[in-house]
Structure 1
Amino acid sequence: MQATRGSIKDFQAFKANDDAEALRKAMKGLGTDEDPIMKILTSRSNAQRQQVAVAFKTLFGRDLVDDLKSELTGKLEKVIVALMTPSNMYDAHELRHAIKGAGTKEDVLIEILASRSTTEMNHTKKVFKEEHGSELEDGITGDTSGYFQRMLVVLVQANRDPDSKVNDALVEQDAQDLFKAGEVKWGTDEEKFITILGTRSNAHLRKVFDKYMTISGYQIEESIDRETSGHLEKLLLAIVKSVRCVPRYFAETLDRAMKGAGTDDETLIRVMVSRSEIDMLDIRKEYRTHFGKSLFQAIKCDTSGDYRNTLLLICGGDDE
């Protein structure tokens, strides 16, 4: 994980007590001064924010997150609380939220499970168990069905081959198997897609996609589009896109969240916050390349008020 490609890094002149005092001052008395809250929390790394929360409790005997929740409202509250969630718990928290209560948020399951590395996935499973006392896999199987469920379960196993493992004979075999499982066959052999896309290394799969194109004359995405539908189709496409280029996948996800009538703010917040210290600079670059405008400008046009200003601070700059 290249932490250096994030838009948010450790703040060099960091003093947890100073930040805690500034935040308390911003929330004390009548009315809230949102400006320092946004500026402080978007210019500190997640690890530093956790230290500020400890300092806040030590100095004032109050819970920083509770205070923020009572002082802020709406989308601003959501993005600030997301920034305050410990980064190692964020995915587990979002997945829990996606499978809890009435209705499943399949898009959240797809986005997180399709894009995370084996190491990240194993970590999330561990945290999920510690935090919620149950296995992530059980939560998913209780809430999904069919081939969609089976593909998710394979991803949760996090047993993808390491990237060093590329076998040219197997590349040829996998490409042929996918071709036979889809384009050649009447109906689709979903199991082949699930096994190959869920267990081979990313480096191996990129070669398989190239070979597939040579054999079939189609991009693998076109075949998935034709051969599958619904949530399974979305999941398989998300895996392929993440295998090809994770930042591009997130650039597309952000664009979709801001497209058309109404903004999908939950997705916007989740991607901006979860990628802010990992690869936001790469996502911005991909966004500029593929959509002809900067991510900064897109957010600016699509959001408003302090919520917009917070997202722009997380974005970390304009590439126009």
Structure 2
Amino acid sequence: MASAWIGNRGTVRDTGGFNAAREAEIIWKAIRGGEARTTIFSILTSRTNAQRQLIAGCFREGSGKDLKDVLRDELSGDVKHLMVALVIPPAVFDAQLLYRALKGPGTDEEMLIEVLASRNNWQMKDIVQTYCSIYNRSLRTDISSDTSGNFRKALINLTHSRRSESPIVDAHLAKNDAQVLYSAGEKKWGTDEDRFTEILCFSSLQQLKKTFSEYQKLSGMTIEDTIKRETSGQYRYLLLAIVKCARSTPAFFAEKLRRALKGVGTDEATLNRVMVSRSEIDLWDVRTEYKRLSGHSLYSAIQSDTSGDYRTALLRICGGDD
């Protein structure tokens, strides 16, 4: 299951000559000696999550303490949140995000959309199981309790991990699905949202791209334009997020980063979330899309919009400048 969280375009890769026990001991000695920060950053930002879990296990055996708890005690501010996120297993990280989105004050629909629209089937299965294991609750039940209507139905469909994973793009099916979408939206009075939900939640991402191309040929409109015209509220935003991920998941996250680093103040929570969750999957491609969107590199944006230890840690995860 761990391979579902690893891609071939990540900036963080397995480190050769890795020795978890030795690195756990180095971290523990540095913490006791009051020189924790530089050592923690250099080790944890250059190791994969799987390697960090081994370090955390050895750290617990050697010190009797949980590495996450020690990081919370020894660090402060934004860098503390980043370092703690790095030592949490990916499925646990996502399960925690979803729990906070559903059980905090109000419902954080944007967080629900970000996670559920962008994870693949194996990641989603891992998240659903982990959510139940941690909180002794059903993710689907919590979604049902906190959302409604077509938005709820689409979210629940995504959690069932039924998206096709066939690498084959069926041109005939794409034309049929384009016609179904056209008939369900632009061609009729009112909108048959179930057809939109079914096709966007269950077709493979490659198949969706072909369907969107056929849809534009048929209707003279992009699928995004139709979704904006025919749907509303959080359901609209969810469908648009699925479309963005189908067209380019790295571009979807690059836009998240652009908004986090643009304007007055920096959205550190989003910055941490994206940098950590994509660092082993496709952060190189996210960087490319970020530069295309903003005109400057992600590395330079982090340099100018963050500072101190936090900047140092983020730049390590980001990799070298473009």
Task: State TM-score, norm by structure 2.
Answer: 0.93
Q: Note the 1:76-91 alignment, pairs <5 A.
A: 76-91=79-94
In structure 1, the partner of 2:9 is 5
1:165 shift after superposition: 5.2
User: 2:123 aligned with 1:120, yes or no?
Assistant: yes
**CA distance, structure 2, for counterparts of residue 26 and residue 66 of structure 1:** 16
Rounded to whole Å, the distance in 1 between the matches of 2:125 and 2:293 is 32
Tell me by how many angstroms 1:188 deviates: 2.6
1:36 aligns with 2:66: no
Give, in angstroms, the shift of residue 101 of structure 1.
2.7
Superposed, 1:52-131 pairs within 5 Å as 52-131=55-134
Residue 80 of structure 1 deviates from its aligned partner by 0.5
Greater mean alpha carbon deviation, residues 224-233 or residues 35-44? 224-233
- Note the alpha carbon deviations across 1:181-222, whole angstroms, 9 max, x for none: 222333332222111111122222111100111111111112
Q: 1:10 is aligned with what amino acid?
A: D
What displacement does 1:87 show?
2.5
- Tell me the secondary structure at the aligned position of residue 146 of structure 2: coil
CA distance in 1, matches of 2:285, 2:229: 30
Q: Secondary structure at the match of 1:5?
A: coil
SS for the counterpart of 1:3 is coil
Offset, 1:160:
1.4
Which residue identity does 1:175 align to in structure 2? A
Give yes or no for the alignment of 1:194 onto 2:197: yes
Distance 1:68 1:212 in 2: 51
Q: Does 1:280 align with 2:283?
A: yes
Q: Could you give the per-residue CA deviations for residues 85-137 of structure 1, whole angstroms, max 9, x where no partner exists? A: 02342222221222123212111111111111112111211222222222211
Equivalent residue for 1:27? 31
Q: Is the 1:32–1:71 Cα contact (8 Å) retained in structure 2?
A: no
For residue 9 of structure 1, what is the amino acid of its counterpart? R
Q: Decide which moves more: 291-300 or 178-187.
A: 178-187
- Note the 1:1-320 alignment, pairs <5 A: 3-28=7-32, 33-164=36-167, 166-319=169-322
Choose 165-174 or 53-62, whichever is displaced more.
165-174
Aligned partner letter, 1:181: A
| TM-superposed deviation, 1:32 | 5.1
Q: Distance in 2 between matches of 1:229 and 1:298?
A: 33
Maintained 8 Å contact 1:42/1:310: yes
After superposing on structure 2, the runs of 4+ consecutive aligned residues of structure 1 that deviate more than 6 Å are none
Distance 2:150 2:262 in 1: 29
Amino acid in structure 1 at the alignment position of 2:231: T
Q: 1:27 to 1:207 in 2, by over 3 A?
A: same
Instruction: List gaps (5 residues or longer) in structure 2.
Output: none
Q: 1:187 to 1:258 in 2, by over 3 A?
A: farther
Corresponding residue SS for 2:52: helix
Deviation string for 1:294-315 (max 9, x for gaps)?
A: 1111222222221122111111
Identity %: 48
Please, which moves more after superposition, 209-218 or 164-173?
164-173
- Matched residue of 2:228: which SS? helix
How far is 1:289 from its partner?
A: 2.5
Give the length in aligned residue pairs: 318
* 8 Å contact kept, 1:163–1:202: no
After superposition, the CA RMSD in angstroms is 1.8
Letter in 2 for 1:46: N
In structure 1, C-alpha distance between the alignment counterparts of 2:43 and 2:159, rounded to whole Å: 35
TM-score (norm: length of structure 1): 0.93
Larger mean CA deviation between 37-46 and 97-106 belongs to 97-106
